[in-house]
Amino acid sequence: MIAIVNYGMGNLRSVQKALEQVGVSAGIVSVPAEVARAEKVILPGVGAFGDAMANLRERGLVEPLIEAARSDRPFLGICLGLQLLFDVSYEEGEFEGLGIIPGQVLRFSFSGRPEAAGLKVPHMGWNQVAWTKPCPLLGNLASPQYFYFVHSFYVSPVDSSVSCGLCDYGGLFTAMIWRDNLYATQFHPEKSQKVGLRILENFARL
């Protein structure tokens, strides 16, 4: 079973519907035992990092998620679900994340940068992602590809080799990561039409 983790801050049904479009069933789960039993785990999310971590702790989901991400089970984070994998976020303060990927979550800042004049925060809409290395979720997708983004913060990994996709928004930032069984995207594959559906289908086939 593919488990879509419900911690009160996710676009759960849109992810589930996108998987249904490619012929894959997935269940929305909210208790630790269901995450522990899942063959594959998807951690979606929209909203504030601090609130998300508080909800995960309150529901007892932190340890099951860490165990899943460090196992050999395929694990996919989407948007906020990517950011939560990191050590710390500076969104409205300083908040500890799951600590699975070393690095931090930072706000876009364009002050004093004329090359970024006119760019707004949040980064919202379609933008190109270029692959930096082969990844099982990408299959034969040519590089670059357009995906849909909605975010004001981006991840900055300590080890740049975990990045497999980069996007340019006033400078390059990590839009997709891959390490062993762990995959995560800053963009929303469930809102990115055929190319996004291909990524979800490839994940389901792992």
Distances (CA, A) of 136 to 103, 133, 180, 202, 204: 23, 10, 10, 7, 11
Helix, strand, coil % (nearest 5) of the chain? 30, 35, 40
pTM strictly above 0.85: yes
Residue 115 confidence (pLDDT): 73
Query: Pairing mode, if any, of strands 153-157 and 182-185?
Result: unpaired
Retrieve residue 197's tokens.
């559906």
What is the spatial distance between Cα 205 and Cα 77, in angstroms, rounded to a whole number?
16
Per-residue pLDDT at 119: 92
Instruction: Identify the structural domains of the chain with CATH numbers, from first to last.
Output: 2-204 (3.40.50.880)
Q: Where are the alpha helices (DSSP H) in the chain?
A: 12-21, 32-37, 49-58, 62-69, 80-83, 193-204
- State how far the Cα of 65 lies from the Cα of 33, in Å rounded to an integer: 11
Residues classed as catalytic: 79, 188, 190
How far apart are alpha carbons 116 and 180 in whole angstroms?
34
Q: CA torsion angle for 46, 52, 53, 59 (degrees, to 10)?
A: -120
Two structure tokens written together for 188: 């929303």
Q: State pLDDT tens for residues 68-77.
A: 999 999 999 9
CA dist., res. 100 & res. 66, Å (int)? 7
Counting as low any pLDDT under 70, the low residues of the chain are: none
